[in-house]
Each structure stands twice: as structure tokens, then as C-alpha cells.
Amino acid sequence: MDTAQTRSILTVALMAAFADGLKDDRERAAVKQVADALGGEAGIDLPALYRDVLLSRQDLAQVVAPLQAPEARQYAYEMALGVANADGAQNAAETDFLQRLAKALQLPATQASAAAATADAVASAAASDPDPVAPVGAAAGTVLGKASLSQAELDKLILNAAVTNAALEILPESIATMAIIPLQMRLVYRIGRSYGYPMDMSNAKDFAATLGIGLTGQYLEQVGRKLLGGLLGGLAGGLGRSVGHQAASSGLAFATTYALGRVAQRYYEGGRTLDGAALKETFTALLAEARGMAPQYRQQIEQTASTIDTRSLASLIKQV
């Protein structure tokens, strides 16, 4: 993939992020931070693109013009779907943008609809109840702060989620990247429930935001590093699986997921008494620790990646 195509896809990603105005200041800051960080690596002035998109200076038809290969156009659309769904269900502005994007990319309606349905299924899988018959909350007789899972089970839950997300990270298919954030939110959801707290996806997202994890920003960083790391370098010639080829961001999904799970465990185990500053400090320390751990699991990550069927990601998420 040449510089013009990379620039095109990253611009579409930013346009998707700002389709709804990105009113959340924390999320806006996260997206700007990603643009600043990736700009130097890309050899593209991403901070300038960020400003142009923010000021609505980009013409969508011109932005996607460099994407001539059908695979590249499909990838750009799927990537935009992932951005729009990263922080929750699409709103009207995001849906309108995606429709205009599909038209600019000249995607067949059936192709665009199928991609949208897959993205919806992946996002919805995170919110499915892992144990609909289990009592939740003090009113149901559960002791808050006392986990229904053993320490060994919690350890396995968190590590498996981290390994699975790292495996998803090294797959070239955009739908694989879409599944990382839902799986992280599912992990927080399950940990909170295991300690007796009523949970829904808004609780998990609020918890991530408190830690400083911008969901849209995180997704953009994962997509950007895949592009810049060469994992999608052969995209114009067809999307192939590259298990064993580490993206430049290798370990990012592992570390974030592992640290997120560990902080969630401490938070709910402690009766949700940790304040925002303490949570951020704990998360930062655990994130550094998890980055050091990731290489130890490289073989397991690559083996897991080789077994993932991207057509069944919703089922994969529900297993967490």
C-alpha cells in the first residue's frame, strides 16, 4: 500500500471519528494524541489532517480517490464501521456518513449491508449476558466485593482475553480489529458481575473512560499501526492472513486488555472505592507491566491467531 492509499484510509478513519462531532472531550483528546503519535511514523502530516477533518475541509470523493482496488475500498469502509461502532451504537450522523462513504467508494449495497450487519453482531455480542440465571447484586443475595469466580478463574479469564485480543491484533482483516474493544468491554462486564454488581455496557465504557482509555482513539491507533507496520502492505493484491507477522503495535492489545482486567478486578473487589486518580495510576503501572509480559506469550498468541475464524467473532466474544 503506497503513501496515498495510507493517507486516504487514515483520513477516512478521522472523518468517521468526527462524523458525530466527537463531543466527548476525553475522546477528542485521545484521537488528537493518536494523530500526533502516528503522524511522524507515517511520513504523513496527520495532525494537519486532523485539523482539516475537524474543520470539515475534506471532500469525501477526493479522499477515497486513491483507493482503486476493490479490497482497499472494502477495507476503508469496514474500518470506518469499526470507528463508528467503537464507542457504542451508531447515531444518525454516523449512519449518514457511512452511507455517503459507501456511495463514494462505489460499494454494492449488499456488500455494505453485509459488513454493517457483521459489525453490529460483533458490537452486540459484548452485551450478551454471560450467565442470565446467575443472581446479581445484594438484593439477590450476592455479597458485593466477593467474587463468584475463584482467583485462578479470574486469572485465566483476564489472560485469555489479553491473548485473544493480541491474536486479533495481528490478523489483517479489519473485522478482527473491530472485535478488540467489544471483548475488552465484555471482560470488564464479566468481572463486575462476578463481584455481584449489576452491569451493562455503559458501566464498562465509563470505567474505561475513567482510566483514560478512549475507545475511538484506541481503535484508530490499532488501525493506524497495522497500516504503518506493513501488515496490510499487500492489501491492494488481496487480503491474506499473516499469522506470525507481528504488527508494529504488537502487544498493544495484550497490554491494554490485561491491565484493564486487572484494574477492574481491584476496583470491584475493593467495593468500587478507588477514585479516578488511583485508578489511572494503577492502570498506568499495570500497563507497563503487561507490555513486558506480552513477549512471553508470543507463541500462544500466534497459535490462537491461526485458529480464529473471523466469520464467527460474535461467538468468540461471547466465550469470554
Positive or negative torsion for Cα 283, 275, 186, 149: positive
pLDDT, tens digit, for every residue of 136-182?
Answer: 554 444 456 677 889 999 999 999 999 999 999 888 787 888 899 99
- Res. 201: pLDDT tops 90: no
Q: Work out the percent of the chain whose per-residue pLDDT is above 70.
A: 83
Average pLDDT of the residues in 95-106:
94
For the record, the C-alpha cell of 287 comes out as 500497563
Residue-wise pLDDT tens digits, 33-84: 777 777 666 677 878 888 888 887 789 999 999 999 998 899 899 889 988 8
* pLDDT higher at 207 or 145: 207
* Other Cβ atoms closer than 10 A to 220: 26
pLDDT of residue 136: 52
The pLDDT, as a whole number, for residue 218 is: 86
Model-level pTM?
Answer: 0.83
**What's the structural domain count of the chain?**
1
Question: 3-17 and 215-228 are packed helices; what angle lies between their axes, rounded to 10 degrees?
Answer: 170
| Highest mean pLDDT: which range of 25-29, 127-131, 180-184 | 180-184
pLDDT band at 296, cuts 50/70/90?
A: very high
What residue numbers bound the domain in which 214 lies? 3-318
pLDDT at 131: 60
User: 220-241 pLDDT, tens per residue?
Assistant: 888 777 777 654 444 433 333 4
